Chains A and B, each alone.
Chain A
Amino acid sequence: MTHKPMLIAVLSMSSLALAAPGASQSAQVKRGEYLVSFGGCHDCHTPKKMGPQGPELDTTRLLAGHPEEMPVTPAPTLQGPWMAATVGTMTAWSGPWGISYTANLTPDRETGLGAWSEQNFVDTMRTGRHMGRGRPILPPMPWQMVGKLTDQDLKAVFAYLRTLPAVKNRVPQPLPPAASTASAEPAPPK
């Protein structure tokens, strides 16, 4: 009888030890989810739909980027102090850089981040280049600020993104300034 409490204690410690990796991973994912929510990632990477209280997240396409099937007409020509414009989903942006479409951050290999490693993601946020080596990331993605996160936090964000349902959504390629803006001049008569 006297050994019973000790046996229970040992078993409990064993259970904790066995559960530790999973618990740690879960904590990392939760941390990532927290950072993604607070960091405003959904603002641009999750399409919005109109609800009774105004625009709300389309939860069927969490962080899946600009919907490929959504037609985007040429952006309006902005004047005076106005510099940028966006569409109702907030997934396409126009400015001096042209038109940029927010990326699909879900783990789909063909159209999302499925081919990316954790290091690719960290390198991207640190350098402002795709996978840390490719083309420059365009505005309004605030990679300079996200890149201030610690390695641990960036890895947590990536771990959370890995848990999202993979959405097959091939986001359009960005457009350079000349091709993206509607002419301010009226169309010539035909």
Chain B
Amino acid sequence: MARFLAFLLTSAVLAPAARAASPLPVHLRDTGLYAPGRGEEIATDVLPFTPQYALWSDGAEKRRWIRLPRGTQIDARDPDRWVFPVGTRLWKEFTLGRRLETRMLERTRDGWRFAAYVWTEDGSDAVLAPPTGVSVPIPSGGRWAIPGTGDCRACHEGQPNPVLGFTALQLSSDRDPGAPHAPTAHAEVHLEDLLQRGLLRGLPSSLRSTPPRIATDSADERAALGYLNVNCGICHNRHGPLAGIGLDLLQNLSEGQASVERTQASAVAVRALRPVGGAEVRLVPGQPEHSVLFRRMGARDPLDQMPPLGTQRPDPEALALVERWIHSLSNRRTP
């Protein structure tokens, strides 16, 4: 174990990823998540939150927190692209049988930087992972892949907003009851809470009067698009590096129903660039098995699987939802 930790420490020190002026703390306990000298008691200026649409991570339980520098606010004028003050930190803890890792995002003067802290098997410490990533054993068998900084960037820099779980849609008090793995017992922070705490400025008045939601009347479509938004739309959108593919699964609150319609137009009856197992069209109404999107969601062959990172087994609850949604498309007019 000592040798393993020494390797992690050495790798971290040599990491080329430290773009910001100060190096990343080597231990999670030094990142500001916990109250100084009080073990794992969360610091008083750190706020827990739970997004309504979860990124699938093979069933891992997650806890998330955010901390803004004292006296600062999030610029919320654009509901799809909040601007966080320099010094903002967010954490996400992953547990699957035991605590495995805690990831951290930090807004520096040079942009966002990414780190992962690996928990020791006895849970006594979490140490900065090497920038190339590392895998650790899972108690139930198999291994858990902790991402390298390149993989972090692949998902978080695929669209204009690198913070994926702390958005106007994710924190709406109009929670989607159909969202897969919808949290039930977590302490939830809504937009209204953030406003009361004085952490947001410029939030459009329309979002103050009506909590945001995906603009569709279909419960299954709302939940499916919410899930696809966070699990797929972070890369498949019209803003980021994969815009050329022409698949847009990112929901933009500022556009309302037009965003939903654009998603459908980019996927329904549109030929995929790459067929999968005989399926050649992204979404075929009424035919999930002939829909490339559904097939790739259910694949875990590295050549076909979607998302390509961060998961080793499909999400059965999401597959059932998307299957229902694809069936429902055959009964509705397309835009």
List the B residue with the shortest CB-CB distance to A114. B244
Q: From the candidates A117, A135, A173, name the one contacting B244 in the complex (CB within 8 A).
A: A117
Known: A133-B154, A173-B303. Is A119-B274 also a contact (CB below 8 A)? no
Contact yes or no, A135 B241, CB < 8 A: no
Contact yes or no, A135 B304, CB < 8 A: yes
Contact yes or no, B308 A116, CB < 8 A: no
Contact yes or no, B246 A133, CB < 8 A: no
- What separation, in Å, do the CA atoms of A27 and B302 have in the docked complex? 39
Distance to closest chain B CB from A49 (angstroms): 27
Contact yes or no, B308 A133, CB < 8 A: yes
Contact yes or no, B154 A127, CB < 8 A: yes
Contact yes or no, B241 A117, CB < 8 A: yes
Contact yes or no, A136 B274, CB < 8 A: no
Distance to closest chain B CB from A53 (angstroms): 37
B51 at the interface (CB under 8 A from A): no
Q: Which residues of B contact A120 (CB under 8 A)?
A: 241-242, 244
Contact yes or no, B241 A132, CB < 8 A: yes
Distance to closest chain B CB from A116 (angstroms): 6
Contact yes or no, B301 A176, CB < 8 A: yes
Q: Which residues of B contact A68 (CB under 8 A)?
A: none
Contact yes or no, A135 B308, CB < 8 A: yes
Contact yes or no, A174 B303, CB < 8 A: yes
Contact yes or no, A135 B154, CB < 8 A: no
- What separation, in Å, do the CA atoms of A123 and B273 have in the docked complex? 19
Q: Which residues of A contact B158 (CB under 8 A)?
A: 133
Q: Which residues of A contact B154 (CB under 8 A)?
A: 127, 129, 132-133
Contact yes or no, A135 B302, CB < 8 A: yes
- The bracket for how many chain B residues form the interface is 20 to 34
Q: Which residues of B contact A134 (CB under 8 A)?
A: 308
Distance to closest chain A CB from B306 (angstroms): 9
Contact yes or no, A115 B273, CB < 8 A: yes
- What separation, in Å, do the CA atoms of A134 and B275 have in the docked complex? 15
A110 at the interface (CB under 8 A from B): yes
List the B residue with the shortest CB-CB distance to A120. B241
- What separation, in Å, do the CA atoms of A9 and B287 have in the docked complex? 70
- What separation, in Å, do the CA atoms of A101 and B186 have in the docked complex? 48
Q: Which residues of A contact B301 (CB under 8 A)?
A: 176
Q: Which residues of A contact B309 (CB under 8 A)?
A: 133
Q: Which residues of B contact A126 (CB under 8 A)?
A: 150
Contact with B along A107-145 (1 / 0, CB 8 A): 000100001110110010011010111111000000000
List the A residue with the shortest CB-CB distance to B276. A173
Q: From the candidates A110, A119, A173, A176, name the one contacting B241 in the complex (CB within 8 A).
A: A119
Contact with A along B116-160 (1 / 0, CB 8 A): 000000000000000000000000000000000010001100100
B235 at the interface (CB under 8 A from A): yes
Q: Which residues of A contact B245 (CB under 8 A)?
A: 115, 131
Contact yes or no, B304 A133, CB < 8 A: no
Known: A119-B241, A123-B241. Is A133-B235 also a contact (CB below 8 A)? yes
Contact yes or no, B244 A127, CB < 8 A: no
User: Within residues 166 to 185 of chain A, which ones have a CB less than 8 A from any CB in chain B?
Assistant: 173-174, 176
Contact yes or no, A173 B242, CB < 8 A: no
- What separation, in Å, do the CA atoms of A127 and B157 have in the docked complex? 14
Interface hub of A116, A129, A132, A133 (most chain B Cβ within 10 A): A133
Contact yes or no, B308 A115, CB < 8 A: no
Distance to closest chain B CB from A110 (angstroms): 7
Contact yes or no, A110 B273, CB < 8 A: yes
- What separation, in Å, do the CA atoms of A126 and B16 have in the docked complex? 14
User: Within residues 282 to 311 of chain B, which ones have a CB less than 8 A from any CB in chain A?
Assistant: 301-305, 308-309
Contact with A along B196-220 (1 / 0, CB 8 A): 0000000000000000000000000
Q: Which residues of A contact B274 (CB under 8 A)?
A: 173
Q: Which residues of A contact B235 (CB under 8 A)?
A: 133
Contact yes or no, A131 B273, CB < 8 A: no
Contact yes or no, B242 A131, CB < 8 A: yes
- What separation, in Å, do the CA atoms of A117 and B243 have in the docked complex? 9
- What separation, in Å, do the CA atoms of A16 and B244 have in the docked complex? 35
Distance to closest chain A CB from B101 (angstroms): 21
Contacts from B to A (Cβ < 8 Å): 150, 154-155, 158, 235, 241-246, 273-275, 301-305, 308-309
Contacts from A to B (Cβ < 8 Å): 110, 115-117, 119-120, 123, 126-127, 129, 131-136, 173-174, 176
10 closest Cβ pairs, A-B complex: A115-B244, A133-B154, A135-B303, A119-B241, A134-B308, A133-B235, A117-B244, A127-B150, A135-B308, A136-B302
Q: Pick 6 A–B contacts, CB within 8 A, sort by A.
A: A115-B245, A126-B150, A133-B155, A135-B305, A173-B275, A173-B303
Q: Besides the contacts A110-B273, A133-B235, what 14 more A-B pairs have beta carbons closer than 8 Å?
A: A115-B244, A117-B241, A117-B243, A120-B241, A123-B241, A126-B150, A131-B242, A133-B158, A133-B308, A134-B308, A135-B308, A136-B303, A176-B301, A176-B303
